[in-house]
Every structure is written in C-alpha cells, then in structure tokens.
Structure 1
Amino acid sequence: MDDNEVYASECIETYSKEYAHENFKSFFPNMIDGLKCVYRRVIYAFSLNGLENGKIIKSTEAVAKVSMTHPTGDSSMYDVLMKMSQPWFTSPPMTISPSNNGSYSGNNPGAMRYTEIGLAPYTKEMFLEDIDPKALRKVEGPYLNMEPAYYVPALPTALLIDNVTIGFGIGCKTNRLNFSNVCDLVVNYSNHLATKPLEQWNYKALAEKFLPDYPTPCVITNASRLIEEYKKGNFDHPVEVEGKVVLTKDQIQIKAAPHGTPFNVLIEKWSDYWKKNPNSELSRLIKDYNFTRSKKLEGDFTIYCKQNVSPFVVWKLVQSVIGFSDRYHPKPNYTLEDQVTTRHFTYPELIRVWYTERCKLLLATKSSKLKSLLNQKQILEGQIIVVDHAKKFFSIVNDQPTVEAAISALEKEFNITPFQCRALLNLSNQSFIKTSKAKLIEDLKKLVESIKALNESYGNIGKEISARALYFKKKYGKERNSHIPNYIGYVKFLHGNILFETHDEVETILDSFPKEECEIISFTSSHLKPVNENGKFAQLTFSKIMYGGILSLPSSDVKKVYTSCIKNGCLSFSKEAIPTLSQDGVFYTTKRIIAFTRYGEIIHDEITNYSKRNNALESRGSFTEFVHLLSETQNPFYLISFYSEEKNSLRIERLEPTSKKYVYNACGDQYLFTSLDGKNWYLSPPKTCLNRLPMRALYIADAEVLLKGKSSAKIDLSTRSRAHQGLQYLE
C-alpha cells in the first residue's frame, strides 16, 4: 500500500467522528454557559466586530458577520438572531431588535432586509464583562480560527436558557428557572462555601427556588408536587403545564398555550379540526371565532358561544381539540468540556460546576491584570529615574546605532532593567517633557495601592460572585413568566367552576357572568380533594376551569376524616371521607367536634357517639337537634347566622374553643356559617333570609372589623348606604 492510499473504512470512520463531533456541538448546550454552539458564536461574532456595546446594525449585516464564525444558511441564522431577541423565547433577551421581531401570538418577524438588531447590554454584562477573554478555553472553529469553547458567565446561565433538542437518540429538554431565584441560589451556594466548605450544600431547603419559570406565559399546575420531588433530589419529575384561558358569559378567550407548544399551533389545530368536522357538536354550540397575531407577549384567540350555551360546556370540548394541557419531561443532558461527551446534570451540579469554572476564570483574570499593573509599575519607576535627565536620555539614544545598543547604554547609565529601557523608548517625547516627577510619584502611589487591593481581592472571589449576582437580580430580576397559582376558593356555576386566587379576581368573575346564579366557596384547609362530575374522588390537577367540586378536608388522609350528614332532622356519620357534589348539610370533621343545635346550644362531643352508617350521605341516621358541625379547635372561631324571620340581617359572634354557652337564636329557619380565622370569608346568604335585596354573595375581609371589639354584633344588610366597614356586597 502506498503512503498516499487510504482505506475507505478509515475515511468513513474519520469523517463520521468529525460529523458526530460537530452535531454534538450544534445540538447540545454546554454545561457551563448553557449555550448551543450557534448562540455562542453569535456573541463571539458581535464581540469580535466591536459590536458588544449594543450598537444596532442591519440584520443583513449581522447575518453576514455571524456567518464568518458559523457557516450556515442566511435564513436559519436570521431565525436564531430573532429568537434571541424574543422575550417569549429567551428571557432576558440576548439580542435587541427595535424593529418587528415577531409576536407570541404567531406573527413572524419582518424580512431580513427591513429589520435591525444588536447585542443586548444584558449579554455583554453576563458573558463579556469582568473577565480576560484570553483566559477562556479556546477550540478550533470551522474556518480554522480559534474561538471560545464555552463562556463562563456571571451566573449559571445553563439554568436560565430553555433548550429543546434531539440528536443521536439522546434528547435534551431543560427547565429554565426564575432569574431572581438563580441569583439567590448563587448567593446561598457562595455563602455555604465560605462558612461550611467541608459540608454538603443543603439545596433541598431551597426546593422552591428550583421551580421552573418558562419564558412563555403558561401555568404550572403541579408546583407543590415538584417541590416535594426536589426535596428528595429528583429534578426530573414531569412538569404539568397548561395554557391561559378566560371564560365570560358568552366567550372563551385563550391567551397562552402550554409551554413547548407555539401559540399558532393551537390555532392550526383548531382550524384543521373545523375544516375536517364542519358538522360536529362544536359547530352547533359556537357562533363564531377569530384570532389575531398582533399581541406581543400573549395570544389572542376568541371563541363566541351561541345564545343560552354555557361556555363551560363549549370549553370542555375545545380543550380536547387543541390540547390545552401537557406534561413537560425534563432531560437536562449537557456536553462536557470536550464538547462530545454528554451527561445528565441536576441543578445543584450545574451550579457547582459553573462556580468552579467561574472562580478559575476570575483568578486568571486577576493574574493577568496583576501582571499588567506590575509592568506599569516598572515603567513608572523607570520614568521617575530618567525624568530629571531627559537631555542625557535623548543624547544616549541618538548616539546609538541600534535599539539594542541604546537599551544596553541606558541600562548601564541609569541602572534600569532592559524591560524598562524598551518601554521608555516606546514613550513619546511629550511624556518626558510634560510629565513632572511629582505627578509620576503620585501615579506610582496610586498604582501600588491598586496592586495591593488586587492582591487582597484574591481571597474575596466568593464575595465578588455574590455581589455580582445581587447586582443582576436588582437590574434584571422580575416576576415570574410562568404562573404558579395559589387558589383560595372557587366560584361554582351550574355547568362548571372557576378557581380564584384573590378577592379582586372574584369580582372580575362575577362581572363576567352577570345575573348568573353561583356560589362562592372558600377553601378552609390546605388539604383539597377534587371530585369529578360523577361524584367520585379524582386524581386531577387544579386548573383554572374545573368540573365537579373540590372538598376541603381536615386531613390529607381521607381515611382519617369523618363524613357527617344532617338531613331531614337526622344525623349519621361515616369513617372516611366520602365524596359528594352537593355539600349542603355535609360536614368533614375530625373525631372531636363542636356542634350547634337548633336552639342555639353549643355541644362538645365525639362524632362516634352518634349513628354510624356505611355511607352517611345515602343512609338515614338517628334524630338530632344539630344543625351545624365543625372540627374541634384550640383557637377562637367565628359564627355567622341568618334567620328566615329576620330578613336582610345577619349576626356575627366570636366564640371561644371551650365555650358551652348558648348562641343567639331566633325563630324560623336558621342557617349557620363558621370560619376559623374570620378572614377572606365568602358567604352566600339564603334567599329565604333576604327581601328585595339583590345579592349573590357577601365578602368579609376581617370579622373583627365588623365586631368592633365586641364579642357579637348584628348587621342590617338593607341600610341604604351599606357602609359596613369590612363587609362587601357582591351582586
């Protein structure tokens, strides 16, 4: 075989390895900066061409400059530049575009020849400032030029960039965390290393900080479960996400898709369904629909229901068509330093690896800066020696035939080093004539102080990283993009329920459904169990729109709960929580109860002393005088009573946990409501207790405001002013 001959198998193997190497670099993010190769080369190209200061240039020019470091098509390169400027794709944006860069609702960016783009100040501060670029690890680029293998940013941006990719059977799906939370994690980890370097970092105590925060305005519905898994060290638990929707009396407004689904995909699914099923059940319920692509940060897709058609009925069918909820399975696979090997990383591991590299880079940067300052110090010391002998200096230089001879002569005459001689020869004549010795000595003192401060800073790397993280949090930290709901109750309509988080939201819901009969139910505990439309417990995540009901139980274990039912003057109970859609006369309590009789007597007892049934909701129990039950408590609680013979009025009382006295009792039918804290309390007054008083509910922000320091008070609801402080009418 000749030396110039090569086996085909060797060529195939060699080029296959090179191909795989390039694909891994392109497809997978790096564990240090979290960037894919193309994004890194965009930053490098802008800095290489002096555009890191945010200068805005034509997109065609930007594509041309980036193509010098990343050989790819113009359209795909332009697409990357635009995505880096879109806050619903990259948050904070890494590039800025004052022109049309598209919209979340589906509008495409303008043509390349019409738009402009530049590097965002955030990108410069994160990746390029406070470091020596020469200290970055370099690799050979596509044009045989040397480029950074990875950046070492001021924060672990691997936790701030949302990556989705597939390559060689290995997927990569990363969860972006909230920007402010990442800053807090960095500060906490740095403080841990400073105070307890030999102990393991207790990241499990910070589980809430690791909750995902996608750049899209979606809703995360299983946050509590995620926190539980993160405390166990399991960061791969699927994230359940759904879009954002608003229901009104005759409309359905869809404003966001679940993360991982572009908003225009929802519209495409709907359009395809509508074309293929023109005579479907939905077509008989829907009057019209429309969508626009002009909204920048949220979608705009509206469905109009026909008259007398409930939006809850329509929405149940619509969400099955467009796929309004999804499960996001994270696969945090990153490339290592060799850019070929991939490995699964947890969030704490990414922080640890980044922190180590950041410390190395800052140390290298300080060493480079110290070397530069020491060189300046030598030059200043040489200037101070020579400045009073300028004529002699120039005479010696002019008399020598070569530079080397001049350096040798100056070294002998002034007793300075060859480095100082060469530096002095490079100075202009003006430096000798205009600079005084006193000024040089003053500059030298300042330089010595800078060198001293720099030497001392070697031991403060951790503090510098923490300070930088706090700076970024203050400047770029903001509220979450992905919403994590904290529901405190729901508004129950005939065909469905709308969950709410604040009182203002309740008012908005009621305004959206004017004159619609409803019931406002507050959650009385954190142990919630959803009930499906068939009246059975269901494994459902809590969504904005739900069907069936939601029970507030005194315990998370349904087997430790007692279900009591007071019906037709009879009381029965069952051991274990039994689901039901109608909660009228149904009470979920612990074994010890506080009971109220129809005569106003308070009784402390055990529910097991009464009639037990297999199913208390369906079986008739024993005769009872009880009208209301609640679990025994150790704290004061509040009681509100309505009476059919006292129209348009209510009585409120504060009761002690051990109280055995009689409460106020009037003639006629009575309706009792209790609250453990008396705050954020919603009541639906019985219609038999109202007379010409249009009201769907009452809202009590704080019962103590109504009591005004007393133990009981009577409120007249029919007063013209209705100016009862702490009481709000919801009509």
Structure 2
Amino acid sequence: MQQEEQIIRTEYSELMQKSYIDYAMSVIIARALPDVRDGLKPVQRRTLYDMYELGIRYDKPYRKCARIVGDTMGKYHPHGDSSIYDALVVMAQEFKKGLPLVDGHGNFGSIEGDGAAAMRYTEARLQKITQEAFLSDLDKDVVDFVPNFDETEKEPEVLPVKIPNLLVNGSDGIAVGMVTSTPPHNLGEVIDGVIAYIKNPDINTEQMMEYIPGPDFPTGGIIANKDDLIQIYSTGMGKIKIRGKVEVEQVKGGKERIVITEIPYTMIGANIGKFLNDVYSLVETKKTNDIVDITNQSSKEGIRIVLELRKGADTQNLINLLYKKTKLEDTFGVNMLAVAEGRPETLGLVPIIRHHVKFQYELATRKYQTLLKKELDKKEIQEGLIKACDVIDLIIEILRGSKNVKDARACLTDGVTDNITFKSAQSEKMASELRFTERQTTAILEMRLQKLIGLEIEALMKDHEDTLKHIAEYEDILENRATMAKVLIKELQSYKKQYAVPRKTLIDNLEEAVVEEKKIEEMDVVFLMDRFGYAKTVDVSVYERNKEAADTENRYILTCKNTDKICIFTNKGQMHLLKVLDLPYGKFRDKGIPIDNLSNYDSSEENFIYIINLGAIIHSRLLFGTKTAMLKMVDGSEFDVAKRTTASTKLNEDDELLIVHAMTGEETVVMQSEKEMFLRIEASTIPEKKKGAVGVRGMKLNAGDALSNIYVLDGENEQTVEVKGKEVVLNRLRVGNRDTKGTKR
C-alpha cells in the first residue's frame, strides 16, 4: 500500500526566518567564532586534535600537511581542504600568531603576503607548548567528547588549554551579522594577569592592566593611544592606533634616510605593497619632494624599508606625512567576541580571564578526580597484594587444592571452601575467613612468583606509601580551593618560565601626526597638450620664446594659474578635472604625461570636445550643444566640484556632445547639419539650465539628419566654412528664430 504524501502547511516568512537563524547560528558557533575557553575555532581545534591523534608530536618527524588535512577533513571537519590548510598555515606563521601552535617545515608564506606552498609540499608537527598546554590531559577525562559529523568518531568539545589562548593569539573571523577581532597579547603578561585574578577574583580592569598593559603584536610597532585602552578592555570594543617603528640614519654627504624596522600588524600581507605604492604616489603627486628613492630590504631577519632623502629634507615632517597619508599608521578595530557558555558574547579583559580561570578549575577538578580514582584503585590492589604476601602459604594451598579458577576466586573473595582440598582443618578455617575484593583477587591470581622476593616486597611497600601520599595530595587539591589555586599558579609559572618572550609592541600616548603643508607660490603658467594627449606646463616666458613652435605642435594651449584645475569636456557628456600641479612643469621640449594617467579620461572611449581652466569659466556661462540640436546655457559655477569626474550634461540615447563654449552674452550661434542646413540664432535666445538638464531644441532637423557642427560667432571676426566646394560666410547668414528649420546652402 502506497504511503500517503505528507504536506506540511506553514507560513513562508516564518520558515525562512527560522532557517536563516539556524544557518546563522551554525556559522557563528560551529565555524567563525572562537570558544572563550580554549580560544580556538572548530577548524583549529579539530586540526590540532587530529595531529595529536596521528602522533605528530614535537619530538617526532614532520608529516605532510596533505595527510593532516585529509585526515582532519575525513574524520572531523567536512568543509573543504582549503579552509583546513589555511587554518593550519596561520597557526604556523609567527608573524600572525603571538604563540605559533604548529611547527611548519617548508614554505609557509611570508609577512609580505606570499602564500604558502601547496600542502603536498609542506610538512608540519605540533609545537612543544601545544602538546604540553593544549593536549596533554586529554587522556584524563578532563573534557567531554562528542560524536563527529557522521557519528563514526569522537572529538573533544573543547581542548583542555591551560593558558588563555584567546588573548595570547587573538582571533579574527566574520560570522553572520557579527565579527570578531581580538588582538594578540604577550604570553608572560597574560599569565601574570591570570595569576593575579586567581589571587584576587575581585580585580578590576584598571588593576588588571598593571599586568596586561595592552596588546603585543608579533610585528612590533607602537600603540599610539594608550589612554583609550582602559575603555577598550572594559567594553571589549574600540579602536587601537598602531604605528610602524621608524629610525633615522645618517648617510655620507650630510644626507639622511628613513628606515622602517617594524610595521603595524594591519600592514602584513598585501598592505606592504600598498604602502610602497602610496609612497610612490606621494612623490608623483608632489606631496613631497624629499624622497629620492625607496627600497624594500626586508628579509627573514626582519622588516627593513629604506627611504633615501635629499639633502636638507625636513625628516620629521616627512615622517608625519607617512603616518598621515599611508598605512604606516593604521587602526586595529577591536571586538572581543567569543562563544561563552554556548552563545556569542562581547567580553572585556577581566571577563575573558574569569571564563578562563573557571574553565581551569573545571579541568583541574576532573583531572584530579580521575587521578584520585586511579590511585584508589591502585591502593586497593596494593593492599590486597601486601595482605596476600602475609598469608602466601595459605593462598598457595588454596590454589593447589582448587579444581578450577572459579573455586579459587570464590574462596579468596567470599571464603567459600567447598570443592577445595586443604592439608589441615586450621588451613580451611583460615581460608573461610578470607575476604579479598574482586580487583585484589584478580591481582593475586595474576601475581608472579618473583613478587615474593624480598626486594620486590619492599618495592611494593614503597609504591603503597607513594600511592597513599598521592591520594592525600589529590584529596587536598579537590577539597581545598586554595590548594588547587596553588597548583594552577605553579603550572602557569612553569609555562611562563619556558615560553615567555619580551614584549615587542611599545605602548604610549603619541600626538596626532601634523603635516606642515608647504605653501605653493601662485604663478601664471601655460598649459600645452599635443594631439596625442600628452600634457605639460611651462613658464609664460618659455612659451613666449617658443610661441610659433608651440602653436604648431600643440592642440590645446591655455594660460592658467599653477593652482588652477583644467576642465576636460568629452563627447560622452563627461567632465574630467585635472589639477595643474599634477602636470609636469619644466622645459619646452619635455614630452609631458598622458592625460589618461592623471584623470579618469579614457581615450579609447571618449573624444575631447573642449578644454579650459576652471578659473576662466567659474564666473561665466557655458554653451552646450549636441548632435540632435539640443542647446542650453549652464552657469560655470556648477562645475566647481571636488570629484575627478562628473556628468557635465544629460544626453538622450544615441546623442553626443558637439560643443562646449564659454560665452560672454553678445555672440550668435550657427548650427550646421549633415545635409547642409544652416541656422543662425542669437545666443541670448538659448535658456539657462542646470547641468543635469537635457536642454531645448535649437533647430528642427529633417528625418535622418543630425548636426555636424556648431559655431560661435563673436561678431568681430569673419568665419567661413566650405560646403561642396563653395565658401559660406557664417557672419552673413540671416539671424533666425530658435527651433526653426534654417536654410539650405
């Protein structure tokens, strides 16, 4: 019988909302955010556990990363090999992690953004501290194990990490609707802070910062806003200003060089290349003339970026310019978000340590409960063996008189003497009084005769004494919190002694970098642009001396101020702004620089219509005319904008701009169509519109016709055009009305 189809009716919006929330929480908890207890994301935790399971210890040979990644993906993390390998690589990069957890062998990338080699080429193993402080107690039932994705394996819910890894290594990740960004800290300082909290759980943020003054980035650098740190550590959110470390070196000839020896943590990777490009831009845009060369001499020994300066350069002002205009000073956004007690929470410095210490007490309790149980089991067996040694003759008699192990076991545990042959009634009476436990009986039955040697019995007695000491020690730790605290502190101090390193990042309150802009002396220059689009500026006197050659060789010649802007109008209706200061200024025979390189103008898409300096049009009106005879006047002040490119007019589909011209108000305008129709009108009849308007119709065009040219006549100079071999004097055309057909020529 066919089963009936089950249709569940539900509100679509509710289903989508529930599904999205489920997805978001899965990303937040199971992928993107670290757990506050071990400071690890699931992919990191699973990778380290898999390496532990594979036996890739710090004192064992390296193993191929491909093996580690494949095993992790197959057993614990079914999210693709790249995410696992990326996590493995980052845990091995000492320039990203304050405390690398993986010992990488091979090319694991560089601080300048070079990627790691493929996982088939690289090898890895656990670092010693990872093995000792992250994984060592997994065999002592200190954490819960949960089923993996297909329930064929078990994996730890959290690793028994004994140092506050969330603070030491930091964390960054993007979840759904939230982001985590925790800076790395110094291991020794963080351990001091944890010990201080254990001794005084009521410690506040300010007191804690006596031990943990601020982040300690692997790349060093300087934290410039020390006073903001207390607010950041109280709330778990804020912005840290980081600067690179700069040194000034003296060079022969009285010159100096700026050497960058440490970079902001945010600059690692591709941002080093961006910094170099930004410095090049400062030189190209003439923001500074003090830099003559820049080289990146960084190596495995460390960062070294050298800026060679010209003699007499203002070094301090240049350093401030680098802080202001490049990534040499950057902001690290802090958002100490982590999964705490199963839900995402933004935590301050003290709450993170509080969660960590609480976790340490839980780990210690479970660890010493496991150890105590083992010692109690051992004590039980040892007591049984000691007691057995005292009545060994009787036990041998029981064993020799038993027909099978079952009878012997029953006699030793419950004193059952049936089915056992004794040499005497006294022996049988003594045997009936025996009451060994099950474990003791098993140990007696498995005991070798060599244990009856005097020295062996002495060793047994000594082991029993050690066991009793351990039991007393573990019971004291479990019953007295103060004793457990001492154990935790002692362990933390041993990690600090072995693995702590000096702080790399300086913390200070530094003043805002102030750049003294050198005032540019305003002067008249001549803008020259040839027919290939190469532009430059020269002194007015240079132009006057070479006027004939300049007028012949150049398409556009403008006299303007060096502080002015050049407006480039194109047939596509765009206006591109170009700063005169960005153009090369110098000799008449210098080639110049392509306009495309200094503006958004694209010579492959647009054609020049009109080029003029902004100062010349700002107090006048501009005439705009298009191929479909749309005309308008626009106030020049509308083009005084900050954007490098702006729409100078609105064009209808398939229309293009034919003319842009600065007007005085007394001119006439002549329109010439492709079919030799001419119309001359007064410029005063063209209305003023905004630059975003299309305009009004200047001439009625026949079907299939379009304007080929628009001329502006000033009334003084005669202007002629040739039509079919005949000259047409435009000034002699009759002035007609706008929006008429005109006359045929």
What TM-score, normalized to structure 2?
A: 0.57
Partner of 1:84: 91
1:262 aligns with 2:285: no
Aligned counterpart, 2:102? 95
Larger of the two Rg values belongs to structure: 2
Distance of 2:38 and 2:9 partners within structure 1: 38
Query: Match of 2:185, as an amino acid?
Result: L
**Alpha carbons of 1:446 and 1:152: their partners in 2 closer, same or farther (altered >3 Å)?**
closer
Asked if the contact 1:243/1:325 (under 8 Å) is kept, the reply is yes
Task: Determine the C-alpha separation between the residues in 1 that align with 2:334 and 2:157.
Answer: 25
Question: Partner letter of residue 477 of structure 2?
Answer: S
Structure 1 residues 272 and 436: alpha-carbon distance in aligned structure 2, compared to 1, 3 A threshold: closer
CA deviation vs aligned residue, 1:156-176 (integer Å, no higher than 9, x gap): 222212111111111111133
Deviation per CA, 1:464-518: give whole Å up to 9, x if none.
Answer: 1112222222222222122225889x9x9999xxxxxxxxxxxxxxxxxxxxxxx
* Residue matched to 1:467: 490
Q: Deviations over 1:222-266 (max 9, x none)?
A: 113424x379x4453421112222334443333333222325413
Q: Equivalents in 2 of 1:279, 1:454: separation in Å?
A: 72
Pair 1:220-2:228 in alignment = no
Mapped to 1, the partners of 2:20 and 2:508 lie a distance apart of: 51
Note if 1:381 corresponds to 2:422. no
Which residue is equivalent to 2:436?
416
Residues 401 and 77 of structure 1: CA distance in aligned 2, closer, same or farther (over 3 Å): farther
Partner of 2:299 in structure 1? 294
CA pair 7-493 structure 1, distance change in 2 beyond 3 A: closer
Q: Distance in 1 between matches of 2:27 and 2:440?
A: 47
* Matched residues, number: 481
Aligned residue for 2:260, secondary structure, equals strand
2:184 matched to which residue of 1? 176
Task: Determine if contact 2:142/2:160 at 8 Å carries over to the other structure.
Answer: no
CA distance in 1 between partners of 2:290 and 2:206 (Å): 49
Q: Structure 2 residue aligned with 1:439, among 431, 438, 459?
A: 459
User: What's the counterpart of residue 355 of structure 1?
Assistant: 357
Q: Contact 1:362–1:461 at 8 Å: present in 2 too?
A: yes
Match of 2:240 in 1: 239
Are the equivalent residues in 2 in contact too, given 1:162–1:214 (CA < 8 A)? no
- 1:378-527 matches, cutoff 5 A: 378-387=380-389, 393=395, 404-411=406-413, 412=415, 413=431, 414-427=434-447, 431=451, 436-458=456-478, 459=480, 460-485=483-508
Contact 2:47 2:84 in 1 (8 A): no
Report 1:124-163 matches (<5 A): 124-129=131-136, 133-144=140-151, 145-163=153-171
- Give 1:416 shift: 0.5
Amino acid at match of 1:450: H
1:44 matched residue in structure 2? 49
Judge conservation of contact 2:224–2:509 (CA < 8 Å) in 1.
no
Q: Does the 8 Å contact 1:258/1:324 carry over to 2?
A: yes
Q: 2: distance between equivalents of 1:309 and 1:203?
A: 45
Displacement of 1:45 in angstroms is: 1.1
- More displaced 10-residue stretch of structure 1: 363-372 or 105-114: 105-114
Contact 1:85 1:101 in 2 (8 A): yes
Counterpart Cα distance in 1 of 2:493 and 2:80:
40
Does structure 1 retain, via aligned residues, the 8 Å contact 2:24–2:175? no
C-alpha contact 1:266 1:322 (8 A) present in aligned 2: no
2:34 corresponds to which residue?
Answer: 29
CA contact (8 A) 1:105 1:300 kept: no
Look up the equivalent residue of 2:239 and give its one-letter code: P
1:328 aligns with 2:332: yes
Counting aligned pairs with the same residue, the percent is 23
Structure 2 distance, partners of 1:203, 1:246, is 34
Assess, with a 3 A threshold, how the Cα gap between structure 1 residues 185 and 389 changes in structure 2: closer, same or farther: same
User: What is the CA–CA distance in structure 1 between the aligned matches of 2:6 and 2:450, rounded to whole Å?
Assistant: 65
**In structure 2, do the counterparts of structure 1 residues 281 and 343 end up closer, same or farther at CA, with 3 Å as the change threshold?**
same
After superposition, the C-alpha distances for 1:44-93 in whole angstroms (9 at most, x for unaligned) are: 11222233454232333333343333234444433322221222211221
SS of the residue 2:149 aligns to: coil
Give the counterpart letter for 1:257 in structure 2: I
Query: CA separation in 1, counterparts of 2:236 and 2:398?
Result: 72
Measured against aligned partners, the alpha-carbon deviations of 1:385-415 in whole angstroms (never above 9, x if no partner) come to 3346667657756876776554323322442
In the alignment, is the contact (CA less than 8 A) between 2:62 and 2:105 conserved in 1?
no
Q: Which amino acid aligns with 2:29?
A: F
Contact 1:28 1:334 in 2 (8 A): yes
Worse overlay, 306-315 or 22-31 = 306-315
Q: Secondary structure of 1:330's match?
A: strand
Matches for 1:311-710 after TM superposition, within 5 Å = 311-312=315-316, 314-315=318-319, 318-338=322-342, 341-387=343-389, 393=395, 404-411=406-413, 412=415, 413=431, 414-427=434-447, 431=451, 436-458=456-478, 459=480, 460-485=483-508
Which residue of 198, 205, 228 corresponds with 1:190? 198
Partners of 1:171 and 1:331 within 8 A in 2? yes
* Matching residue of 1:648: none
Q: Distance in 2 between matches of 1:167 and 1:431?
A: 62
C-alpha change, 1:314 and 1:133, in structure 2 (3 Å) is: same
Q: CA deviation at 1:107?
A: 4.5
5+ unaligned residues in a row in structure 1: which ranges?
194-199, 496-731
2:551 paired residue number: none
**Cα separation, 1, equivalents of 2:381 and 2:9:** 61
The Cα shift of 1:36 comes to 1.0
Q: Displacement, 1:2?
A: 5.3
Read off the aligned partner of 1:265 and give its amino acid letter: N
Q: Is the contact made by 1:105 and 1:299 (CA closer than 8 Å) also made in structure 2?
A: no
* Alignment partner, residue 727 of structure 1: none
Q: Deviations over 1:92-115 (max 9, x none)?
A: 211113544333344444443443
Q: Contact 2:205/2:349 (CA < 8 Å) preserved in 1?
A: no
1:213 partner letter: D
Deviation string for 1:321-376 (max 9, x for gaps)?
A: 532212223111111333xx211111111111221221122111111111111111
Q: CA deviation at 1:461?
A: 0.6
Match of 2:126 in 1: 119
Partner of 1:55, secondary structure, is coil
In structure 1, C-alpha distance between the alignment counterparts of 2:371 and 2:149, rounded to whole Å: 31
- When residues 201 and 401 of structure 1 are mapped into structure 2, their CA distance, relative to the original with a 3 A threshold, is farther
Deviation at 1:421, TM superposition (A): 1.6
User: Cα 1:5–1:225, aligned 2, differ >3 Å: closer, same or farther?
Assistant: same
Aligned residue identity for 1:288: D
Q: Distance in 1 between matches of 2:8 and 2:275?
A: 52
Which whole-Å CA distance do the structure 2 matches of 1:428 and 1:11 have between them? 69
The residue aligned with 1:682 is none
* Mapped contact 1:333–1:345 kept (Cα < 8 A): yes
SS in 2 for 1:30: coil
Q: Aligned partner of 1:472: which letter?
A: Y
2: CA distance between counterparts of 1:447 and 1:316? 68
Task: Give the letter for the 2:304 counterpart.
Answer: D
Q: Amino acid of the residue matched to residue 172 of structure 1?
A: T
Deviation of 1:34 (Å): 1.2
- Residue matched to 1:599: none
> Mean Cα displacement is larger for which, 183-192 or 56-65?
56-65
The answer to whether the Cα contact below 8 Å between 1:59 and 1:115 also exists between their aligned partners in 2 is yes
Cross-structure match for 2:175: 167
1:450 Cα deviation from its structure 2 partner: 2.1
Distance across 1 between alignment mates of 2:15 and 2:5: 13
Distance 1:352 1:272, change over 3 A: closer
- SS for the counterpart of 1:329 is strand
Question: Residues 583-610 of structure 1: CA distance to partner in whole angstroms, max 9, x if unpaired?
Answer: xxxxxxxxxxxxxxxxxxxxxxxxxxxx
* Aligned twin of 1:64: 70
